[in-house]
Structure 1
Amino acid sequence: MGAIIIGNQLVEETATGHDELPVEYRRYLGMVSHRLLWTARPGDVVVLPNRPHPAFVEHVWHTLGVEDNAAPQILVPPVGARDDLLLYEDRLLDEDFCAELGGIVDPSKTDVRAFFHDDVVAELCARLGVRGTPSRSFLEQSGTALVNSKSTFRAIASGLGLSVPAGIVALTASAAEAYIWSHLAEGRSVIVKQDGHGGGYGNEIIRSPGGPSGFGASRTITIEDRQGLDAELLGAWDRWSGGGRPVVVEEYSADSVPLYAEFSITESGPELVGHGEMRVGTSDDGPTNRGLVIPAIRATGSGRYQAFLDEAHRLVGALGAMGYRGSVSVDSILLPDGRILLNEFNGRTSGSTHVHILCRALLGEDALLDRVTLVRSNRALTNIPDALRRIRDAGLWFNRTGRSGVLLGGDDGQLIIIGSTLEETERIESHLEALLAPA
């Protein structure tokens, strides 16, 4: 028996509580969980909120060289009180599902790899009698909230003297108002971050009429005077604080390039898994991760990039010293003046985890050294079998010998393009745009 891989994209509160996400975005996140198939190996059990497309499943096992009789099992719990979009508590802890899973696993040999190792996953581990993750004790004491908290990030990073955006952790509306107005009065902008949200949701950009705006937030508002700011805060503070949580307010920098560095923290310490640039935009649904460039070609030439990786390593080392074990991604921004500022961490499986695992499986440990991987999110790609056929017929399939080509990252439409240079991957991306355009 290998691992139980759980695609619970969100903690219960974010999925259903005060900060509940729009239904279409929850549907999208449920499909994103299907990408975890790339991290599975024979003997594993993958628990997903709904069934991935059979053509995508076949594509994954074929690419990884997994025989049909050795393929990991895919389990989907019964639908609970809500829907089958995400793995809610009543689904993961359903008695019949727990019994089915318990009949498969060997408690003495099974690890659990959850997207979020929260209280629900801890209870599932207890019912199954499995040991869970190496940091189970830490995570069960609200550790998950700690290593995904934006205010905790600012406290630890600032305490270590790392490079972070100017900002404050506001505990009161008056403190937030004073800091925001100090920027608006000078024609600058701020970004307000809800403490526990992710993916840009819960972030709001507040700008003066001449201040910069951009990506990374689900809402942008323009404030003309202090009375307007006071009026905005009357309705916004409860939304930002979610009933009493800290609120992060930072100076917003326009024209920045978002970067990340992903680590795996073990008993031996942090190991750099990979790093890259996030291709971020906006849509009608809010902030959108449009993909990745691995490695971060536009940033690695900067003399400060290695310093960023070193600071990120120090930061995750602190999380390891606190008792956290597992995947953690450190986000940052590259400013036009060349500075790189760390702006949050996320102690969970990230949107890049499956890409780095896949690239290492196909390209070896030197995947970051001589290959460029371009990840494109394409939520309009709905006919998976047709898309796979078109890519194959165009001769664009990933080729192990040439170590380049196209893979389907998920049946949400994500495409993974591997080549020797950024220019090569961008040419393939342009070809795909025409190839997969709706008729």
Structure 2
Amino acid sequence: MATIIVGNQLAEETATGRDELPADYRGYLGMVSHRLLWLAQPGDVIVLPNQPDPTFVAYVWDLLGYHSNPPRIVVPPTGARDDLLLYDDRLLSEEFIDELRTLIRPSQSEIWAFFHDSTVMALAERLGLPTNPRRQFLEQGGLRLVNSKSTFRAIASGLALHIPEGIIATTPAAAERFIWTHLAESRSVIVKQDGHGGGYGNDILKSPAGPSGFGASRSAEIPDRQALAAEVRASWDRWTTEGTRPVVIEEYSGDAVPLYAEFDVRDGDAELVGHGEMRVGDSDDGPTNAGLVVPAVRAAQGPAYPAFLEEAQSLAAALGSIGYRGSVSVDSIALPDGRILLNEFNGRISGSTHVHTLCRALFHGDPLSTRVVLVRSHRTLPPTASTLDTLEDLQLRFDSATGFGVILGGDDGQLIIIASSLPDAEQVERLLDDAFAERGELCRDAV
């Protein structure tokens, strides 16, 4: 069975209109889609918004051992906008569909997309791919359900799972009342757009003495109730996508450590793929996701961690029971008092999927029982060939014989450091920083 892997990193509505993302971030996301090469098998077709660095492509196929029959990379024609992302008009262009038809056998093919949205469903139909229960669920709006923050709170509450204090607000008055009960006590809240991702669309609202931090594209200090009322009035349409969706508001802890657990949901089962900690870094726009620590070495030592994995699995299984199939990442926060609270799910390929897929391809048995993986993201690096030369010079390039070293995760500058312990991985990261700085190729925040 050949797979058509579609790198549509974000849905159409996040590329246009009120929720449009900046061009530099859309360009970064387009490059992130190049990491999907790690998920492909020989005979697969990978649809990307633009061509990845040829040196990176050759590097991936070499490490995976795909010499004789590598996957095919296809880039649709540029549409009405640009080639930064896979917009609807690009994926559904007749020229592109005709090209795909020459590369696949419909009866022996399936689609695996970053976002299984209506455009991907239309593409599957026009290619004549067989219908299955997964497609039927998605064709009826299932994607929105499994990426909805309000749906998460409803299902998690129904399962009596541990989640942050919060509400699903449908009126400005309800939102204002809940927010003020926290600001008045010098606590902060995070306001989440129901369908956005990656922290975009989220606001942190804080009193002058309240905590601020990671997980939002905007932070605002609210000095009094009058200022809060003005903030709610000014932001309500944006928070609710012009009144078409509810908004989720939760208590926010600035000292929380973000965690995730990723599952593969199949018929009657949710298999744990991997789990880890999301690293927090700094950029010009504030704290941002800077990569992963896999597994979550520090948090996993706490007594609440096994219960977190059990709750996350029950949540993933619940999505399977309503018809979802595929990857789902359950996010959570580890609080300073030891509690771990689930705070959303994302039914799509995540930023960790290629890391776990790669580890399973490289190692046998439990791939992370004797290793720690430190993923460094949101950075710019020199061109791929120069980066690989630096790794070679430092004798840090991944060695298949030992199972340790540094892998170039993407031509967007992501590095995957595989070591025997977290301190060893962090030491390698410092060595790389020093080496790039000495060569005048200092890593810096990309966005």
TM-score by length of 2: 0.96
2:208 is paired with a residue whose SS is: coil
Q: CA deviation at 1:2?
A: 1.5
1:135 is paired with a residue whose SS is: helix
Task: Report if aligned partners of 2:149, 2:195 keep a CA contact under 8 Å in 1.
Answer: yes
Q: Which residue of 1 aligns with 2:75?
A: 76
d(CA) in 2 for partners of 1:392, 1:136? 45
d(CA) in 2 for partners of 1:411, 1:31? 7
In the alignment, structure 1 residue 318 sits paired with structure 2 residue 313: no
Task: Report if aligned partners of 1:195, 1:241 keep a CA contact under 8 Å in 2.
Answer: yes
d(CA) in 1 for partners of 2:206, 2:45? 47
Task: Report if aligned partners of 1:112, 1:132 keep a CA contact under 8 Å in 2.
Answer: no
Which runs of 5 or more residues in structure 1 are unaligned? none
CA 1:177–1:378: 2 relative to 1, 3 Å: closer
d(CA) in 2 for partners of 1:90, 1:425? 43
CA 1:369–1:255: 2 relative to 1, 3 Å: same
**AA partner of residue 330 (structure 1):** V
Q: Which residue of 2 aligns with 1:304?
A: 304
Q: Which residue of 1 aligns with 2:376?
A: 376
Q: CA deviation at 1:384?
A: 1.7
1:423 is paired with a residue whose SS is: helix
1:366 is paired with a residue whose SS is: coil
d(CA) in 2 for partners of 1:133, 1:202? 33
Q: CA deviation at 1:175?
A: 0.5
Task: Report if aligned partners of 1:189, 1:251 keep a CA contact under 8 Å in 2.
Answer: yes
1:108 is paired with a residue whose SS is: helix
Q: Which residue of 1 aligns with 2:338?
A: 338
Task: Report if aligned partners of 1:293, 1:374 keep a CA contact under 8 Å in 2.
Answer: yes
CA 1:207–1:285: 2 relative to 1, 3 Å: closer
Q: Which residue of 2 aligns with 1:157?
A: 156
d(CA) in 2 for partners of 1:213, 1:332? 17
Q: How does 1:99-110 map to 2 (within 5 A)?
A: 99-110=98-109
Task: Report if aligned partners of 1:12, 1:88 keep a CA contact under 8 Å in 2.
Answer: yes
Runs of 4+ in 1 over 4 A off after TM superposition: none
Task: Report if aligned partners of 2:268, 2:317 keep a CA contact under 8 Å in 1.
Answer: no
Q: CA deviation at 1:41?
A: 1.1
Task: Report if aligned partners of 1:215, 1:282 keep a CA contact under 8 Å in 2.
Answer: no
d(CA) in 1 for partners of 2:363, 2:297? 18
Q: Which residue of 2 aligns with 1:146?
A: 145
CA 1:399–1:392: 2 relative to 1, 3 Å: same
d(CA) in 2 for partners of 1:307, 1:173? 35
d(CA) in 2 for partners of 1:73, 1:32? 18
2:327 is paired with a residue whose SS is: strand
Deviations 1:4-55 (A, max 9, x none): 0000001111122331111111000000000000011110000000000011
**AA partner of residue 26 (structure 2):** R
Q: Which residue of 2 aligns with 1:46?
A: 46
d(CA) in 2 for partners of 1:435, 1:105? 45
2:265 is paired with a residue whose SS is: strand
Q: How does 1:395-406 map to 2 (within 5 A)?
A: 395-406=395-406
In the alignment, structure 1 residue 171 sits paired with structure 2 residue 170: yes
d(CA) in 2 for partners of 1:113, 1:365? 25
Task: Report if aligned partners of 2:152, 2:344 keep a CA contact under 8 Å in 1.
Answer: yes
d(CA) in 1 for partners of 2:83, 2:296? 36
d(CA) in 1 for partners of 2:131, 2:39? 17
Deviations 1:255-311 (A, max 9, x none): 111000000001141000000000123423565320000000011111110100000
Deviations 1:330-351 (A, max 9, x none): 0000000000000000000000
d(CA) in 1 for partners of 2:431, 2:256? 28
Q: CA deviation at 1:392?
A: 1.2
Which runs of 5 or more residues in structure 2 are unaligned? 441-447
Q: How does 1:17-416 map to 2 (within 5 A)?
A: 17-67=17-67, 69-131=68-130, 134-244=133-243, 245-285=245-285, 288-416=288-416
Task: Report if aligned partners of 2:372, 2:419 keep a CA contact under 8 Å in 1.
Answer: yes
d(CA) in 1 for partners of 2:21, 2:396? 36
**AA partner of residue 42 (structure 1):** P
Task: Report if aligned partners of 2:409, 2:416 keep a CA contact under 8 Å in 1.
Answer: yes
Q: CA deviation at 1:365?
A: 3.3
**AA partner of residue 7 (structure 1):** G
Is the deviation greater in 268-277 or in 17-26?
17-26
**AA partner of residue 361 (structure 1):** A
1:66 is paired with a residue whose SS is: coil
Q: CA deviation at 1:159?
A: 0.8
d(CA) in 2 for partners of 1:156, 1:62? 43
Q: CA deviation at 1:369?
A: 1.2
**AA partner of residue 223 (structure 1):** I
Q: CA deviation at 1:394?
A: 1.4
2:174 is paired with a residue whose SS is: helix
**AA partner of residue 209 (structure 1):** P
Task: Report if aligned partners of 1:7, 1:48 keep a CA contact under 8 Å in 2.
Answer: yes
d(CA) in 2 for partners of 1:132, 1:403? 41
Deviations 1:80-138 (A, max 9, x none): 00000000000000001101101111011111110000000000000001136651100
CA 1:287–1:135: 2 relative to 1, 3 Å: farther
d(CA) in 1 for partners of 2:379, 2:84? 16
Task: Report if aligned partners of 1:7, 1:36 keep a CA contact under 8 Å in 2.
Answer: yes
d(CA) in 2 for partners of 1:17, 1:61? 38
Task: Report if aligned partners of 1:112, 1:133 keep a CA contact under 8 Å in 2.
Answer: no
Deviations 1:192-224 (A, max 9, x none): 000000001111100000011111111111111
Q: CA RMSD in A?
A: 1.2
d(CA) in 1 for partners of 2:298, 2:131? 39
d(CA) in 1 for partners of 2:436, 2:71? 30
CA 1:107–1:194: 2 relative to 1, 3 Å: same
Aligned residues: 438
Q: CA deviation at 1:378?
A: 4.5
CA 1:157–1:7: 2 relative to 1, 3 Å: same
